[in-house]
Amino acid sequence: MDSTPRRSPLHDRHVALGAKFAPFGGWEMPLEYAGGGVLREHAAVREAVGLFDVSHLGKVRVTGAGAIAFLNARLTNDLAKVSAGQAQYTLCCDENGGVVDDLIAYRFADDHVLLIPNAANAAEVVGRLRTGAPDGIVITDEHEAYAVLAVQGPHSAEVLAALGLPARHPYLTFETAEFSAAGGEGAAADGTPVVVCRTGYTGEHGYELVVPAGSAGAVWDALLRAGEPYGLRPAGLAARDTLRTEMGYPLHGQDLSREITPVQAGLTWAVGWDKPEFWGRDALLAERETGPRRRLWGLRALDRGIPRPHMPVLAPDSETVIGEVTSGTFSPTLKVGIALALLDTSAGLGADAEVVVDIRGRRSRMQVTRPPFVRSAVRS
């Protein structure tokens, strides 16, 4: 089996911008860029606008009569509650309630849904959906057929408007437009279809653009030009991680997994509990009824400690381990260490309680809190 990492159709652009690369879900993706670095890229998104290449994300198209009912009997959230042109966060679980993946579903029509799973899990999601799919339901893996560009930050709408792309639609909706390299209001389109989604992973007002892979370079270049007056910076996956951690957004493989259920992760809002059927339903109903043995909380450092994944969380006045950090970083916005951590419910802790994180043998005091750590602007 070929172990060579996949590359984005924008790889040459990233090289030209002096990007540092790292493996991510089987892809070689930009971690940060020369002349910026994580702190500047993070600040650009919070204060101005940032441009991410997230083409490693999967793209799975489900078509055919009954596509909505088909997905509703498998994924956790209730697709019947959204209409054409709306997006929904949902989960693909196994029979034990563990999370195979979390993903966004874009409902184009009753017979057409586009799923955006995580890079490492896309093939698994495709395989599970294809198993037992009835005649007439077609699941198409389009992982490398499209690029995904995320334009995120307070000035993201102005950047899109400068290119004549739609930017006024509400959060968790999408519109399809034609891209013009010339840009500007009323500019003639050159025929490149772009799906403009009011979604993101940063907590800021933003958009994710689904673009045919062959046109990704032209769209990327146009966004860079249009963003110059607004202080746009290309941003890598390192800044994306600090941004999403500040919002308390889970990352599959760390804060969600086959061993971490939606009930434990605080994602019960993404489960259609009244649906008669979805993967993992019985196990999740039972766990909700009895209560989870652990829950995902936020931790904010009370000293200079910076928590990292897998570090043990201890009761404040003992050596008793009561949990584990799942995600941890330095918050560029708050200038302190922050984390997401699974804490045992038997410890009886809640918001504002104090715990200790063992940072390589040093005890760091942390306050338990409910994310997000910073204010969300996604609906602004």
Could you identify the residue written with the tokens 């009011």? Answer: 198
Q: Does domain 6-50+145-245 correspond to CATH entry 3.40.50.200?
A: no
Task: Answer yes or no: are the C-beta atoms of 93 and 173 closer than 8 Å.
Answer: no
What is the DSSP code string of 13-62? HHHHTT-EEEEETTEEEEEE-TTTHHHHHHHHHHHS-EEEE-TTS--EEE
Q: Give 293-380's CATH code, choosing from 3.30.70.240, 2.40.30.110, 2.40.37.10, 2.60.120.200.
A: 2.40.30.110
- The enclosing H or E element of 242 equals helix 237-247
Position 182 scores a pLDDT of 58
pLDDT in tens, the chain (380 residues): 567 999 999 999 999 999 999 999 999 999 999 998 999 999 999 999 999 999 999 999 999 999 999 999 999 999 999 999 999 999 999 999 999 999 999 999 999 999 999 999 999 999 999 999 999 999 999 999 999 999 999 999 999 999 999 999 999 999 999 997 655 443 334 679 999 999 999 999 999 999 999 999 999 999 999 999 999 999 999 999 999 999 999 999 999 999 999 999 999 999 999 999 999 999 999 999 999 999 999 999 999 999 999 999 999 888 999 999 999 999 999 999 999 999 999 999 999 999 999 999 999 999 999 999 999 999 99
| Domain boundaries of the chain, sorted by first residue | 6-50+145-245, 60-141, 293-380
Q: For residue 189, what is the DSSP state?
A: P
Distances (CA, A) of 199 to 177, 375, 378: 16, 16, 8
Position 178 scores a pLDDT of 92
Could you identify the residue written with the tokens 């489900």? Answer: 62
Position 360 scores a pLDDT of 94
Position 269 scores a pLDDT of 98
Class of domain 60-141: alpha beta
Measured N-to-C along each axis, helices 237-247 and 37-47 cross at an angle, to the nearest 10 degrees, of 50
**Interacting residues of 137 by C-beta distance below 8 A, sequence separation 6+:** 62, 63, 64, 66, 67, 70
Distance of alpha carbon 318 from alpha carbon 211, whole angstroms: 53
Q: Buried b / exposed e across 135-148, counting CB within 10 Å, b at 16+?
A: eebebebbbeebbb
